[in-house]
Chains A and B, each alone.
Chain A
Amino acid sequence: MEYVIGILLLLSFFGLVYYAVRGGNLMMGIFVMAIIWTVLPMLGNMLVKNPEFIAANADTIGISWKDALTKVFQSGPEGWGSTLVNVIFGAWFGRVLMKTGIASTLIRKVTELGGDKPQITCILLCIVTTACFSSVFGAGAVVAIGVIILPIFLSLGIPKTLATCAFMMSVGAGMFVNPVLYQQFSAFFLGEGGERLYTYEMHTSWGIYALLVQVAVVIVMVLLLSRKKKIHAWGAVTPADIRARRGESAPGIALITPVLPVILLILFKVPIILGFTIGSFYAYITCRQIKGWAQMCRMINKDFFDGVVDTAPLVGFLLILPMFNKSSELCVPYFNALLGGVIPNNTLILSIVFAVLAPLGMFRGPLTLFGCGAATLGILKGFGFAPAFLAPLIIIPSTVMNVSCCVTQSWIVWGVNYTKTTTKEFLKVSLVAGWIVCIIVQLMCWFMFGRA
């Protein structure tokens, strides 16, 4: 019986992949999956007879319908409330960087260093992008910075596919230490009492190197691919772009703002929401934006409002996703029964398998926590690996293949559309580059955490 349920679960999983690739609405797809992955194992729990199987999974199988439904549909989204709050503060901070002209000034200064040398300017801009997204999170910020940087890339004659890919992977590189993204990951590693088993220190201890590896791969990619023929295009851009680029210029001391929250967090353990708040006020003050109490209140109100609007498209998805994550925990015994024999429990083999199969992190596949990876993680947790090893193992493909490289990531969808790259062309470049990053970082993490 447990095998039948296992196979049905696996089939529904492939159904989701097929649905995602066909372009179905992911939020609803994942909601339906949460229902299927709750009902199937619960039915299984009522039907299984195998005493060994029951004894081995007594905890999971003994759960009542009421508890299961609460776990998936109530506690799941609630548990992500704190993540959502962080996302909103991050989006506010992103807005402040735009409004004060700090982002545009930084980009202009860097462009003025590189000039017409496409490779130098492109690489410098990629580094700035990574720095910005080490703190800032959200599609709104990616779009706001993208509309400044991408036209510069294109006017320098960089091919559009490379331009899009380099920019998106630079965003993704910053995400390796991004506290808001970390929050989302850490929600998968909570103890019985809800305490964090995977801390931000653990995350940055390897994340900072992963960031450097991804930046290095982007640089090599730019050097290799931009040697191709230069392109002069005549076209027009929607003028919102120019307006953003020509924002007021920010003073030199304000330009460290983008990395301020993450530096405060890493060096002084300042909680991230406070970090975002300090960063925002630092920006307001150094850019002389505060002119009086009433005006300040209005301004902060407005920026916060815009930040919330920026996150709005994501909220539904962010709150439905944990239902799916929680439901996958119910399925663990059945996946174990079906796949337990196939999955290696040696850390080196596991790291190699994750490196080789990294592309399965795309299209919300089994190696990304923003997709079906929650189930994979559930199975692996069953083997008793330490979070210090397990977390990087699955966070790597999630951050690289999904957040940096996949056309199901909201802001990449925007970028591909903005530069008119085809999905196929984009994936050809991003898949290879992302895969290389995954291989290097997986091996690095095995040396750091897997050799116990």
Chain B
Amino acid sequence: MIKLRETLARRLNRTQEVRHKSWPVREMVEQLTALSDAQFGQYAFLHEPLEGKFSAAQKEQYIQAANRCGQETAASWEARLSGGADCSESQPSRLLTKLAGQLGVTVQDETVPIGGGHVLFAQFVEPNRITIFRDCLERLDLLIRDEGLEDLFEGVDFRSVLLAHELFHAVEFAQKDRIYTQTEKVELWRKPFSNKSRILVLSEIAAMAFAKALCRLSFSPYALDVLLMYSYHADAACALYEEIMAAAGLPLTQETGEEPC
């Protein structure tokens, strides 16, 4: 069964492949870690199902507001959890464990390999379960060692970054009725009908800002999309990188035109 699945899947994927230039990992990391949260916000909006409904200006406002929401939520929880103690001292991982405890969330590490067209890093299942997929973290460690990137990620605990992101979703779930990412809605239908929808990507942007603040990162955790993907599909990671740079307004290559037959 497995063999058949793989060969067929590979064959079908081949028709989908886009040929890409491969980029040196170090160069990608350096470029990505230099991007602003607003630039990553533009990339995030590419994944928003309702993206077509918003103008560029609206998107910019949403990105700002979502980032602010993530940062403020991080600050307020940090203040609450450290209870007046010197918060700059506390380790992110200890802080996150406390936060998980406060929210009543159980965190579980899953070791089975992941992959496929849709690579999973971590997930939050309502109401209270977070799973971290260790496979991608282990591969990332290897990648950092092989490529000698230790200097770029000094003191970064990647598991905490994933955990913090998912904990934000737990916070959202607990504060559904008052947190910006859940209360901000857009009207989809014409009068007299009404269907108000949340904008899903705002949760993601805010979760990244939240993780960035709590883990004291100097770069947006969105950079991990490329890095974690790289050890599964180097091609896809490079394509993702090009996509991010293009969304950030720094296109690397011109689109290859249709090849004539």
Query: How far apart are B209's CB and chain A's nearest CB, in angstroms?
Result: 14
Asked if A309 meets B4 with Cβ closer than 8 Å, knowing A116-B200, A147-B117, A233-B123, the reply is no
Taking residues whose C-beta sits less than 8 angstroms from the other chain, chain B's interface range is 35 or more
Instruction: Please measure, in the bound complex, the distance between the C-alpha atom of A414 and the C-alpha atom of B53, giving whole angstroms.
Output: 31
Question: In the assembled complex, how far is the CB of residue A25 from the closest CB belonging to chain B, in whole angstroms?
Answer: 7
B221 to chain A, nearest CB (A): 9
Q: Which residues of A contact B199 (CB under 8 A)?
A: 116
- If over half of A's interface residues share one DSSP class (helix, strand or loop), that class is named, otherwise mixed; here it is helix
Q: Across the interface, which residues of A come within 8 angstroms of B204, CB to CB?
A: 234
Max count, chain A CB within 10 A of own CB: residue among B2, B5, B129, B204:
B5
**A261 and B199 alpha carbons, distance in the complex (Å):** 36
Interfacial residues of chain A within 397-449, with CB under 8 A of chain B in the complex: 407-408, 410-411, 413-414, 416-420, 423
Whether, in the assembled complex, B258 has its beta carbon less than 8 Å from a beta carbon of chain A, the answer is: yes
Complex Cα spacing A175 to B18, Å: 29
Residue in A23, A154, A231, A310 whose beta carbon sits within 8 Å of that of B5 in the complex: A23
A419 close to B116 (CB less than 8 A): yes
Interface 1/0 per residue, B1-34 and A, CB below 8 Å: 1111110110111011110000000000000000
B120 contacts the other chain (Cβ, under 8 Å)?
A: yes
Q: Determine whether the beta carbon of B126 is less than 8 Å from that of A143.
A: no
The reply to whether B119 and A423 form a contact with Cβ atoms under 8 Å apart is no
Which of B8, B50, B166 lies at the interface centre, i.e. has the most chain A CB atoms within 10 A of its CB?
Answer: B8
Q: Which chain A residues (183-201) contact chain B, with CB distance < 8 Å?
A: none
Residues of B within 8 A of A152 (CB): 49
> B116 touching A418 by the CB < 8 A rule?
yes
Q: Is the interface of B mostly helix, strand, loop or mixed?
A: mixed
Determine whether A238 belongs to the interface, using a CB cutoff of 8 Å to chain B: yes
Is B261's CB under 8 angstroms from A410's CB? no
Residue A67 at the chain B interface, CB threshold 8 Å:
no
Question: Considering the chains assembled together, what is the distance between the CA atoms of A411 and B5 in angstroms?
Answer: 10
Question: A interface, how many residues as a size bin?
Answer: 35 or more
> Measured between alpha carbons, how far is A115 from B18 in the docked complex, in Å?
30
Are B121's CB and A147's CB within 8 A? no
- A residues in contact with B162, CB < 8 Å: 234
Say yes or no: B126 contacts A230, CB within 8 Å.
Answer: yes
Give the distance to chain A from B242, nearest Cβ to Cβ, in Å: 8
Cβ of A236 and Cβ of B225 under 8 Å apart? yes
Q: How far, in whole Å, are A249 and B186 apart by their CA atoms in the complex?
A: 21
Q: B233-247: which have CB < 8 Å to A? A: 233, 236, 239-240, 242-243
The residue that B3 contacts in the complex, of A23, A139, A411, with Cβ under 8 A, is: A23
- The answer to the question of A381 belonging to the interface, with a C-beta cut-off of 8 Å to chain B, is no
Nearest CB to that of B237 among chain A residues?
A: A236
* Inter-subunit contact A21/B1 (CB<8 Å): yes
Say if the beta carbon of B114 comes within 8 Å of chain A. yes
A305 and B52 CA atoms in complex are apart in Å by 31
Q: State whether B52 touches A249 (Cβ < 8 A).
A: yes
Q: Name B9's closest neighbour in chain A (CB-CB).
A: A417
A410 interface neighbour in B8, B16, B124, B236, Cβ under 8 Å: B8
CB pairs A–B below 8 angstroms (5 shown):
A230-B126, A234-B162, A236-B119, A238-B240, A418-B117
Query: Closest 6 A-B residue pairs measured CB to CB?
Result: A115-B197, A417-B9, A23-B4, A238-B236, A23-B1, A233-B123
* Chain A interface residues toward B at CB < 8 A: 21-26, 108, 111-117, 120-121, 139-140, 143-144, 147, 150-152, 154-156, 229-243, 246, 249, 298, 301-302, 305, 309-310, 313, 407-408, 410-411, 413-414, 416-420, 423
Beyond the given pairs A232-B125, A413-B4, 13 more chain A to chain B contacts, judged by CB atoms under 8 angstroms and listed by A's residue number, are: A23-B4, A111-B50, A120-B195, A232-B169, A233-B120, A234-B165, A234-B207, A236-B226, A238-B239, A298-B260, A302-B260, A417-B5, A417-B6
